[in-house]
Each structure stands twice: as structure tokens, then as C-alpha cells.
Amino acid sequence: MSPPTFADLESREYLEANGRGGWCSGTYAGSGSRRYHGVLVAALRPPVGRCVLLSKLDETLECASGSYALAANRFPGAAPSDDGVRVAEFGRGDFPWMAFEAGGVRVRKTLAAVWGEDLVLLRYEAAPGCPPCRLILRPFLAPRGIHSLAHANPYLRAGARWDGGTLALAPYDGVPGIHLRVEGASFTPGPDWWYRFQYERERERGLDFEEDLWTPGTLAVELVPGKPVDVAVSTGDPAGRDLDSLWRSEAARRAALRAGVAGRGRLGPRLGLAADQFLVRGRDRETVLAGYPWFEDWGRDTMIALRGLCLSRGLLPQARGILESFLGALDQGMLPNRFPEAGAAPEYNTVDATLWLFVAVHDFWRAGGDRGFVLERCLPALKDCVDWHLRGTRYGIGVDPDGLLRAGAAGVQLTWMDAKVGDWVVTPRRGKPVEVNALWYNALRVTQALAEEAGDRDAARALAARAEGARTAFSAGFWDESLGRCRDVLAPEGPDPSPRPNQIFALSLPFPLLDEGRSRRVLDWVEVHLLTPRGLRSLAPGDPRYVGRYEGGVGSRDGAYHQGTVWAWLMGPTIDALLRYRGREGLRRAQDLLAGFEPHLDEACLGSVSEIFDGDPPHAPRGCFAQAWSVGELLRAARIVEGASAGA
């Protein structure tokens, strides 16, 4: 097999998350292709306030036959695949790794973020039989927020403290110190700015893509077979830490994660590792980071994702902690849309995040979650949310006389199809969106079931009556016999029949709304027009608004976001519907869909699932390279397929 090309290596990324909101990430080429890549990215106000501290750690191998750069960088006018790229193999098991070959020496590099700490480990191992050589490490710093770019300036403190094993740096006030520990190394000072590193993915996204990075000098250490070189990069002083013990502890933790999802095909164990990267314990909340590398924790994404990330893996305490955090953030009967990066007040511009809370509580309860917590903490909160929706809350959200839920205000995007470019709301969907009303019906039924469990018969009867009214109005308003499917929105100006995937939730949620005949017709239509090997298209290709490729600048990409782009998370409700309405045939189809997804785990971010894909074949991965609800819904689907297979 020929060695991978630079394009192969740079198109594949790795992610190591630390459970605090920070991470280590880069490309297998060693080049940074995003502003978000870094050896050490730390959350200063966990889980947000994220900063790139150590941007890169470039390696050079000095052997008897010469000096060989192992990493690659992009600079103006320079070929990116120059003499520096020497990766012979790469992969992702429990940890990301790559093997370099140069000067008759083969060196394996492995990376790990230590769970619960701002601490990253790197291990370099020379293959047996290789001649001794020296490993030269040059750190590059860019202490700045993840969405910014650094440029040479006179304010950075260029001093470095070296104590014979640890290099300590304190570049700016208000930014944590950075420590590099390399046992047995020597340090050669050489403070300098390096100019105009270029980030290819940022250029493709139509954004600023050049950055200056500062280096304090180089570290040198002997590299001989049988004696790994361990490097620790952290915000706290790692002196005295047993790095080998940290490696063993992380390996054991990850082995347990894989074991927890055994039996779910080849997808399950790998997704079990990926799932853990989104679960975060911050200063004031347990939560889910919606996607790497740029999303914060979002209410909608969290409620959808935790069913797969937590419940399908039996992590009930973690699920309860997340539910508790978001219940504490309810306001006027609404769950926050997101918690901003800068730590500002939560934003409440969403209609469906709150409704997904009901589904999450229902699934937590059915999975064996704490009954007392459900009835004493969750049920009163859910009742209050229902009351707020009945009398009306923010952004025109409220129940009409027909029992259906409306939502919408000028210039605001409230559903999950929430792209906005300047003042242009790409898919406003004002009125009564189909999935919102499927969720509203489920919210009523979930609250009814919990009220019955609590012995509150009066509340249960009232909720049941409202749910029946909503069900009748749903069938009358959303079903279009001429199309053989549901309309997408009942808008003030008239029904919107846009051929979108949102109707799948009328079939897939715990309490479906359509009868079996109509449900089968919707599923048939979705399979023909929207289903791809990577999820559902957000708009059918026959629509004149359809955009088959998600690319270009911000306006172009956001304009395509929900106009044909494929969303991986929608594979979950699709598989729910297949199993519910197709019997053994549906089970076989679901198994094929999950098996067909496996190749994606070896492209983009290895071992994880991208946010979106092009609507047109070959459905190239786009957006966030690791997305919580993509991973969560596939993991949940793998769990229910496993159960269905066992009972078949």
C-alpha cells in the first residue's frame, strides 16, 4: 500500500476532548487547517471561554543520515506537501496515532487528552531496531479565543522559565500559564514570531485564514527504541506527575467506554468513544457540547443527543445531571437555545428545544431513571412549560384555538432549521411547523403519562383531552392527500408544502400522530426523495431551491444549510420509523443503513460523525467535524436495532 498523500492526511482530523470543554485537535498531516486546531485548547470558564493556548508542536528528527522535519505547515507561496510530510500510516483506536518514517527511523506518535484536566499527553516511540536519534520539538503559541486569530504584537511576554524538565510560559495577563514537560530534554532559547501560517479550511469558508505564531525556542531529547519520550502540555505544572500512569488510566477508561457498547456492530464501540467527548462538566452545569470545534452547549442539541450519548449507554446519573442543569435554566416555560461562548445570559430564541425536553424526560423515565426525580422535579417543571405554552410566551409561541402550537416573530428563526444571514432568515417557517406540533402532541402525552404515574387523574384527563384535540387538528391541517405526505408548515399566508424531512417526527416520536397507512406513505416518500447513506436531505432535489453542495463563503453556506444539505442526526428518527412500520424488512434496512455509515468514521474526524453532508453524491462531510446529535442519534439507533435484532 502506498503511503498517504498530503491531501489524504490533511482531510482527516483527530479530536481529543477533556470533559471540561477543552480539547486537542489537528490534522494527520501535522498542519493546522483550522483556527480551532491546537495541541492544548482550554475552557477558561468551563465549558466555555475556550482559548487556543499551544497551537502546534512541530517535530524534527535528527539522525546520522540528516535532519528531517516531520510536520508540515502552509505558508504563502510554499507547497504544503514539501519535505516535511513523512507520515507512513495513521489511525484512530482508543487514541489518535501516526507513524513517521525518515532517515531509516520509524517513529510512532500518540496523543491523549486527560479526562477532567487541561492536560494533553504526547508519546513518541522509536520502532525496534532503529538507530538512536534526537527529537527536536518546537512549540508555537497563539494564546487567544478560539474564534480569533493571533498576530505579532509587542505585548506578548517573551520570557520562558526552564527548570531542567519543564518549560513554563506566561504570555499574557488573564490567560493561563502553559507548561511543557519533557523528561530528559534540553532547552535552547530562541524567541521569535513566525508569520502567516495559513489555515486551508478557514480560507474555504471565506474567512480570515492567516495567523502569526510565537515560539520560545526548541526542546531536544534523545529517542531510542524501547524508551518512549512522553510529553505533557498543561495549564498547571505537571512536575511530579507520573505520565505513564496517566496513560494507563486513560487507556483503562476508554476500554470501559468501548465495553459499554459491545454488541452494536462495528459502529457501536467506536461511537461509544466518540460519545464521551461531548459530555462536559462545567463550573455551573453538566451539559453537552453541541459540536466541535465551534459550537457551545445548545438546548435543542442537548435534549436530542443525551438520549444516545447517555441513555443508550446506561449513563443515568449523567443524564439526570444534564436534565437538572437545563431544568434550572427554564424561563417563561422555555429552555435556552444556547449558552454563549462569552458567558453572557442564556438565549431563549427556540420553539422546539423545550419540547425536546419532554421527550428526553420520557426516555429517561422509561430507561429506569430516578422515579422521584422525574415526578418531583421534572413533572412540575413540565406542567409549568405546558401552561406557559397554553397562555403564550416569547416570540409569538402559543397554542391556537385549534389546539396546535404556533411560533414566529419577524427576523427570528425558532426551529432547528435556523440559518440566518444578516437580516435574512433563510427558512423562517413562521406559523405551525409540522415537527413542532408533533413535539407538542408528545409533550402533552408525556405530561399526561407522568401525571397518571403521580396519581394526578384530573391533570391527566385534561392533558389527554388537549392531546386528542391536537391530534385531530394535526391530521386535518397537515395531511395533504394529493401529495401523499404532510405539509411542512401551516403558515399564516397558507399551507407550505415544502418537501422537507420534518414530517418524519410525526412517525418516529414516542407518541405518533398519523395512522399506519399514512405513516407508511410518508416513510415511502422520505426514502425515495430524502434518504441518503448519510442521513436525510433537508429539502428534496426536485425543489427549485435545492442546493446540492454546502460550500463557499458564509452567505453561500448558510443559504444551503437547510436547502438540501444532509443531516446525519435524522438517521435516528428514520430508523425509528423503519422499525415501527416495516417489521423485519425495516430491521434489515436499518441494519444496512448503520453498516453503510461505518466508512464515514474513517474520513473527516476519525472515529466521530460530522454535522452535515452534501445533498449531492458522494455526500462529502461538511460543517462541524464532530457533532453531538449525529453521534448520539446513530448510537441510539444502533441500540434499538440491537434490541430489535435480539427479539427477531
Q: What is the CATH number of the domain that holds 220?
A: 2.70.98
Give the pLDDT of residue 85: 61
Q: In this predicted model, what pLDDT tens digit does every residue of 289-314 receive, in sequence order?
A: 999 999 999 999 999 999 999 999 99
Give dist(CA 327, CA 335) in Å, integer: 8
Entry pTM: 0.96
Asked if residue 465 is part of any domain, the answer here is yes
Task: For cell 422535579, name the residue.
Answer: 377
411 belongs to a structural domain? yes
Look at residue 237 and tell me if it is in a domain: yes
**Residue where a domain stops, chosen among 219, 253, 287:** 253
Tell me, what's the pLDDT at 259? Answer: 87
Query: What is the separation, in whole angstroms, between the first and last Cα of the chain?
Result: 41
Residues 478, 515: one domain?
A: yes
Instruction: Give yes or no: residues 13 and 144 share one domain.
Output: yes
Q: Is residue 356 part of a domain?
A: yes
Query: Do 243 and 304 sit in the same domain of this protein?
Result: no
Same domain, residue pair 209 and 232:
yes
CATH at residue 531:
1.50.10.10
Task: Show the cell assigned to 227.
Answer: 524508551
Say which amino acid occupies 92. Answer: R
Whether residue 567 is found in the same domain as residue 630: yes
Cα 269 versus chain centre, distance: 17
Pair (89, 161) in one structural domain: yes
The predicted structure's pLDDT at residue 84: 54
Q: Is 348 found in the same domain as 239?
A: no
Q: 410 and 278 in one domain?
A: yes
Q: Domain count of the chain? A: 2
Is 167 part of any domain? yes
- The dihedral built from the CA positions of residue 429, 434, 438 and 440, taken in this order, carries a sign that is positive
**Other C-beta atoms lying within 10 Å of the C-beta of residue 36:** 23
Give residues with Cβ within 8 angstroms of 502, minimum separation 6. 415, 417, 433, 434, 435, 488
Q: Which of 215, 236, 253 is the last residue of a domain?
A: 253
Residue 91 lies in a domain: yes
Say which residue the cell 478557514 belongs to. Answer: 202
Angle, helix 628-647 to helix 267-276, in steps of 10 degrees:
140
Question: Which cell is 306 given?
Answer: 443525551
Query: What pLDDT, on the 0 to 100 scale, is given for residue 79?
Result: 72
User: Are residue 234 and residue 271 in the same domain, yes or no?
Assistant: no
- Is residue 487 in a domain? yes
* Residue type present at position 228: P
pLDDT for res 423:
85
Of 507, 569, 506, nearest in space to 535 by CA: 569
Residues 120 and 55 in one domain: yes
pLDDT of 112-126, one tens digit each? 999 999 999 999 999
Residues of the chain with pLDDT under 70: 1, 81-85, 343
H helix intervals, 414-456: 434-453
Question: Phi-psi category of 263—alpha, beta or left, where left has phi over 0 and alpha has psi -120 to 50?
Answer: left
Regarding whether 305 and 227 lie in a shared domain, the answer is no
Residue 610, pLDDT score: 98
Sorted by sequence, the CB contacts under 8 Å of residue 398 that are 6+ apart come out as 389, 390, 391, 392, 405, 406
* Angle, helix 434-453 to helix 379-391, in steps of 10 degrees: 140
Tell me what pLDDT residue 83 has.
Answer: 55
Distance CA(334)–CA(459), nearest Å, equals 21
Where among 253, 270, 294 does a domain terminate?
Answer: 253
Instruction: Specify the pLDDT at position 531.
Output: 98
Residue 401 preceded by cis peptide, ω within 30: no
In a domain, 1, yes or no: no
Indicate if 227 and 281 belong to the same structural domain.
no
β strands within 418-505, DSSP E: 420-421, 424-425, 432-433, 479-480, 485-486, 489-491, 494-496
The backbone torsions φ and ψ at residue 432, rounded to the nearest 5 degrees and listed phi first, read: -125, 90
Structural domain containing residue 473: 260-647
Say what the pLDDT of residue 566 is.
Answer: 98
